[in-house]
Structure 1
Amino acid sequence: MNGHANGHANGHANGTDSSIDVVIIGAGISGINAAYRLQSECPNYSYTILEARDDLGGTWDLFKYPGIRSDSDLFTFGFRFNPWVSKHPIAEGHLIKGYMRQTADKYGIDKHIRFRHRLISADWSSTESVWTLNVENEGQTSTLKTRFVIFGSGYYNYKEPLETKIPGLENFQGQVIHPQFWPEDLDYKKKKVVIIGSGATAITLLPNLAAEAERVTMIQRSPTYVFSLPNKTSNSVLLWWLLPASWLLPRALYKSVERLAWIVATRFLFVFCRTFPSFSKWILKLHTKSQLPSHIPYDPHFKPRYNPWEQRLCVSPNGDFYQSLRSGKADVRTDTIKTVTKKGITINSGETLDADIIITATGLKLQVGGGASISVDGKKMDLGTKYMWNGVMIQDVPNAAFIIGYTNASWTLGADATAQFVTRLINSLESRKIVAATPRMNLQEAKQVQIRPLLNLSSTYINVADRVLPMAADRGPWKPRDHYQKDIKFALHGKIDDQMEFVHGSDLHVRPNIA
Structure 2
Amino acid sequence: MMAGMDSPVDQDVLIVGAGLSGIGMAAHLQMHSPDRSFALVERRANLGGTWDLFRYPGIRSDSDMHTLGFVFEPWRHEKSIADGPSILEYLNRIVDERGIREHIRFNNKVVGADWDSAAARWTVTMEDDKGAVSTTTARWLYLGSGYYDYDEPFDANFTGREDFAGQIIHPQFWPKDFDYSGKKVVVIGSGATAVTIVPSMADKAAHVTMLQRTPTWYAIRPAKDGFANFLRKILPEKTAYRLTRFKNIRLQDIVFRRAREKPEKVADFLTKKLKQALGDRYDPVAFTPPYNPWDQRLCLVPDADFFEAMKAGKASVVTDHIERFDKTGIQLKSGQHLDADVIITATGLKLAVAGKIPVRVDGEPVAWNEHFYYKACMFSNVPNFSVVFGYLNASWTLRADIVSEYVCRVLNHMRDSGTTVATPLLADPTSLTEENIFDFSSGYIQRALHIMPKNADKLPWRLSQNYVQDRIDMRTGPVDDGVLKFGKAASVSKEASAPALEAAE
Same-fold status (TM-score > 0.5): yes
Aligned to 2:283: 297
Conserved 8 A contact 2:148-2:351: yes
- 2:320 maps to 1:335: yes
Task: Please give the alpha-carbon distance, in whole angstroms, between the structure 1 residues aligned to 2:447 and 2:230.
Answer: 46
User: How far is 1:448 from its partner?
Assistant: 4.4
Aligned to 2:108: 117
Aligned to 2:484: 500
Aligned to 2:184: 192
1:44 aligned to which of 35, 40, 43: 35
Conserved 8 A contact 1:292-1:322: yes
Aligned to 2:237: 251
Aligned to 2:436: 452
Conserved 8 A contact 1:407-1:456: no
DSSP-derived class of the 1:478 partner: coil
1:265 aligned to which of 251, 257, 272: 251
Output one character per residue of 1:343-392: Cα deviation in whole Å (capped at 9) or x when no partner: 10011110001000111000001112222110101111111221111101
Task: Please give the alpha-carbon distance, in whole angstroms, between the structure 1 residues aligned to 2:202 and 2:105.
Answer: 39
User: How far is 1:442 from its partner?
Assistant: 3.7
Distance 1:93 1:243, change over 3 A: closer
Distance 1:165 1:422, change over 3 A: same
Distance 1:448 1:78, change over 3 A: closer
User: Structure 2 matches for 1:170-209, cutoff 5 A?
Assistant: 170-209=162-201
Residue 175 of structure 2 aligns to which amino acid in structure 1?
P
Aligned to 1:78: 69
User: How far is 1:87 from its partner?
Assistant: 2.5
User: How far is 1:136 from its partner?
Assistant: 1.0
Residue 473 of structure 1 aligns to which amino acid in structure 2?
A
1:353 aligned to which of 338, 341, 363: 338
Conserved 8 A contact 1:417-1:484: no
Distance 1:97 1:248, change over 3 A: closer
DSSP-derived class of the 1:328 partner: coil
Task: Please give the alpha-carbon distance, in whole angstroms, between the structure 2 residues aligned to 1:193 and 1:293.
Answer: 24
Conserved 8 A contact 2:330-2:337: yes
Aligned to 2:464: 481
Task: Please give the alpha-carbon distance, in whole angstroms, between the structure 2 residues aligned to 1:257 and 1:448.
Answer: 39
DSSP-derived class of the 2:40 partner: strand
Conserved 8 A contact 2:57-2:201: yes
User: How far is 1:146 from its partner?
Assistant: 0.7
Output one character per residue of 1:46-104: Cα deviation in whole Å (capped at 9) or x when no partner: 10000000000000000000000000000111112111012211010011011100111
Residue 434 of structure 2 aligns to which amino acid in structure 1?
Q
Residue 217 of structure 1 aligns to which amino acid in structure 2?
T
Conserved 8 A contact 1:477-1:498: no
DSSP-derived class of the 2:317 partner: strand
Q: TM-score, normalised by structure 1?
A: 0.91
Task: Please give the alpha-carbon distance, in whole angstroms, between the structure 2 residues aligned to 1:356 and 1:90.
Answer: 31
Conserved 8 A contact 1:148-1:399: yes
DSSP-derived class of the 1:268 partner: helix
Task: Please give the alpha-carbon distance, in whole angstroms, between the structure 1 residues aligned to 2:300 and 2:48.
Answer: 22
User: Structure 2 matches for 1:250-399, cutoff 5 A?
Assistant: 250-298=236-284, 300-399=285-384
Output one character per residue of 1:193-244: Cα deviation in whole Å (capped at 9) or x when no partner: 011111100000000011110011111110001211111211xxxxx4x566
DSSP-derived class of the 1:189 partner: coil
DSSP-derived class of the 1:451 partner: coil
Conserved 8 A contact 1:345-1:355: yes
Task: Please give the alpha-carbon distance, in whole angstroms, between the structure 1 residues aligned to 2:229 and 2:91.
Answer: 26
- 2:423 maps to 1:432: no
2:400 aligned to which of 415, 430, 434: 415
User: How far is 1:184 from its partner?
Assistant: 1.5
Conserved 8 A contact 2:41-2:104: yes
Aligned to 1:232: 224
Task: Please give the alpha-carbon distance, in whole angstroms, between the structure 2 residues aligned to 1:252 and 1:390.
Answer: 29
Conserved 8 A contact 1:452-1:480: no
Task: Please give the alpha-carbon distance, in whole angstroms, between the structure 2 residues aligned to 1:493 and 1:149.
Answer: 23
User: How far is 1:123 from its partner?
Assistant: 0.5
Consecutive unaligned residues in structure 2, runs of 5 or more: 1-7, 491-505
Task: Please give the alpha-carbon distance, in whole angstroms, between the structure 2 residues aligned to 1:491 and 1:159.
Answer: 33
Task: Please give the alpha-carbon distance, in whole angstroms, between the structure 1 residues aligned to 2:231 and 2:386.
Answer: 38
Task: Please give the alpha-carbon distance, in whole angstroms, between the structure 2 residues aligned to 1:433 and 1:30.
Answer: 28
DSSP-derived class of the 2:250 partner: helix
Aligned to 1:402: 387
Task: Please give the alpha-carbon distance, in whole angstroms, between the structure 2 residues aligned to 1:479 and 1:44.
Answer: 30
User: How far is 1:271 from its partner?
Assistant: 1.4
Task: Please give the alpha-carbon distance, in whole angstroms, between the structure 2 residues aligned to 1:229 and 1:324.
Answer: 16
Give the percent of matched residue pairs that are identical in Structure 1 and Structure 2.
Answer: 41
Residue 336 of structure 1 aligns to which amino acid in structure 2?
H
Aligned to 1:101: 92
Residue 462 of structure 2 aligns to which amino acid in structure 1?
K
Task: Report the count of equivalent residues.
Answer: 481
User: How far is 1:151 from its partner?
Assistant: 0.1
Aligned to 1:4: none
User: How far is 1:431 from its partner?
Assistant: 1.1
Distance 1:18 1:435, change over 3 A: closer
Task: Please give the alpha-carbon distance, in whole angstroms, between the structure 1 residues aligned to 2:444 and 2:135.
Answer: 34
Distance 1:246 1:191, change over 3 A: same
Residue 90 of structure 2 aligns to which amino acid in structure 1?
Y
Conserved 8 A contact 1:442-1:499: no
DSSP-derived class of the 2:277 partner: coil
User: How far is 1:500 from its partner?
Assistant: 2.3
Task: Please give the alpha-carbon distance, in whole angstroms, between the structure 1 residues aligned to 2:174 and 2:107.
Answer: 21
1:163 aligned to which of 139, 151, 155: 155
Consecutive unaligned residues in structure 1, runs of 5 or more: 1-16, 235-239, 507-515
Aligned to 2:502: none
